[in-house]
Chains A and B, each alone.
Chain A
Amino acid sequence: MQLPETLAFYLLVGLGVAGAAYLTDNRPGRLRRGFSLVAAALFWPLFVPILLAARAGQTQPAATAAPADDPLAAAIAQVQHELDAALGGMDGWAEDVLVREKSRLDELRAALSVQASRIRNMDALLAQTVEPTADRPDTKQEAPDEARWLKSEQARRDNLARLYQVRRQAYIDLRATLAWIRELVSMIHLARFTGAPASRAEELVAQIAAAIEGVSAVAADPAAGPVLDDSPHFASASLPAARSLLTHPILDKQETSSCDSCSIPRT
């Protein structure tokens, strides 16, 4: 295939990509959209990943969408809003730490949503649970069955009570985490306006990012979370433990391995 044929195919694909780019571009301004159209037709290999990523991003929120009037979602949204405002105010002061901690902050946001979703699911389950009356055996004619029925019913009630305790603890933990993040956000504002060094901001952001440790452990693996108030896991999973996470779990970890092929110093 000669160059003209190659160019023809290249531009044919480019026209398709340009059409897709034009349809998905919601920005105002004819000039901008016109430039994007032409650029996408000519340089479509650079635009294809962005178009595909935008499509994937649009499908994600639907899976984890919360009801519009959900107070837990509203509380998380408010904390995230305050956090974004605080982090947005760090430009020119300590923006490096934002780049460094970006992935963990994103994980924290996701973990908060997952934990809220978990609580909502337990709420829905507990709300649907009703008193069993129809299947209760006749006490005069079926005495042995009655005893078994009562035993099972008692076990069921115990399990539901435990489920309620788990839900209650998850809720308390989530609220405490949100309050902890808000406290740290206020500390960032305070540090910023009192002329604190950038290292202080980095420390605070690292602490916020470290809250992921407390949330995601419960959200991702419910078995690792608190089961009962008297469980030994209970205290360790609750938020005050997160206050001990004053050091960065990744950055403060000493690298012991050296480069296997050169003597370039540790980064």
Chain B
Amino acid sequence: MISITNKHLSLQDIMCELEDNSAGALSIFIGNVRNRGRSGNVSEIHYEAYSKMAEEKMREIENEAQTKWGIKKLVAIHRIGNLKVGETSIIIGVSSEHRHEAFEACKYIINNVKTRVPIWKKEISKDSQKWADGFLLE
């Protein structure tokens, strides 16, 4: 399941999506808003996406992970909107037969979501707002 959403991310729901009796391993990455950014203290982050293209790119990355590691199930959900410190912005979940594939696929997917998917974040503090530096799409 691939999704861009403005709703709270539920780890419980994602665990249910990943259930597969043939999978002996399940790897999950959770990205949270932290209280420090490149510009100093952060109180919240604004996330914005080109949702249609973002979901297409995430499906492309999913297919690559499927080809490389033969994973069983995958969930990649990115939240958009204004998120406060401690809130979850992204969850990547992968189930596979053995742990190696689950670890590697999870790492591959989060690294590629960060560099290839049209999503942007702006760090907001009490005194300033700054769009994060990022990666120009290729």
- Is B one of A's binding partners? no
- Chain A residues in contact with chain B, CB under 8 A? none
